[in-house]
Structure 1
Amino acid sequence: GHVGIGTTGDPEVEALLRSRPELILKPLERWPDRLLGMFQLNAHDGPGSRDAIQRWLADGPMRGVYFPGGGPAAVTCTDRRVLPLVEQVVRLGAVIMQHTWYKTGGKQGLGESTPAELAELARRFPDHPFICAHAGGEWERGIRAIRGVSNVLVETSGFDATAGFIEMAVRELGAERIVFGSHLPSRSLGTELSKVIAANISEREKRLILGENFRRLLGVVD
Structure 2
Amino acid sequence: MKNRTDFGLNRRTFLSTSGLGLLGASMSGVLCNVPSKEESEQTANTFQKDGWKAIMESAKKYPKLDAHNHVWSGSNAAQVDESCEALGITKAACSIPGGKKVAEIRANNDIIIQAMKSHPKRIMGQCYINPLFKKEALDEIDRCVDNGMVMLGELYDAVKISDPMYYPIVERCIRHKIPLMLHGVTTLGNWRPGYLPTNPPNSSVPEDFVEIANRYPEAMIICGHIGGGGNWEYMCRILRKAPTLFLDTSGSVSDEGMIDMAVKYLGADRLLFATDMNYETGVGKIIWADLSEADRKKIFFENFNNLLRKAGNHAS
Q: TM-score range by the shorter chain?
A: 0.7 to 0.9
Name 1:50's counterpart in structure 2.
138
Aligned counterpart for 1:102 among listed residues 155, 173, 186: 186
* Aligned residues of 1:180 and 1:210 also touching (Cα < 8 A): yes
Change (3 A) 1:77 1:120: same
Q: CA deviation at 1:56?
A: 0.9
1:1-222 → structure 2 map (5 Å cutoff): 1-2=95-96, 7-9=98-100, 14=104, 17=107, 21=110, 23-57=111-145, 59-66=146-153, 68-70=155-157, 74-106=158-190, 107=197, 108-135=199-226, 137=229, 138-184=231-277, 188-219=278-309, 220=314, 222=316
Larger helix percent = 2
* TM-score scaled by length of structure 2: 0.61
Give the drift of 1:82: 1.2
1:55 and 1:15 mapped to 2: Cα distance? 12
Unmatched tracts of structure 1, length 5 or more: none
TM-score normalized with structure 1 length: 0.84
Q: Which moved more, 1:104-113 or 1:80-89?
A: 104-113
Q: CA contact under 8 A between 1:77 and 1:118: conserved in structure 2? A: yes
Q: What is the alpha-carbon distance in structure 2 between the residues aligned to residue 127 and residue 77 of structure 1?
A: 16
**Which amino acid is the alignment partner of residue 242 of structure 2?**
V
Q: Give the deviation of 1:196 after TM superposition.
A: 0.7
How far apart are 1:10 and its partner, in Å?
7.8
Instruction: Please report how far the alpha carbon of residue 159 of structure 1 lies from its aligned counterpart in structure 2 after TM superposition.
Output: 3.9
Mapped partners of 2:256, 2:210: distance in 1:
25
1:132-161 Cα offsets, whole Å, 9 max, x none, are 112374211111111031110111112411
The list of structure 1 runs, each at least 4 consecutive aligned residues, that deviate by more than 4 angstroms after superposition, is: none
CA offsets per residue over residues 109-149 of structure 1, 9 Å max, x none?
A: 13200111111001111122211112374211111111031
Kept after mapping to 2: 8 A contact 1:42/1:67: no
Gaps of 5+ in 2: 1-94, 191-196
The residue type equivalent to 2:131 in the other structure is A
What per-residue deviation string (whole Å, max 9, x for no partner) do you get for residues 164-198 of structure 1? 111111122111110111111xxx31122111111
Instruction: Give the CA deviation at 1:46.
Output: 1.0
Deviation at 1:68, TM superposition (A): 2.9
Secondary structure in structure 1 of the residue aligned to 2:131: coil
Count of residues in correspondence between the two structures: 209
Within 2, Cα distance between the matches of 1:97 and 1:24?
16
In structure 2, distance between residues paired with 1:214 and 1:165: 19
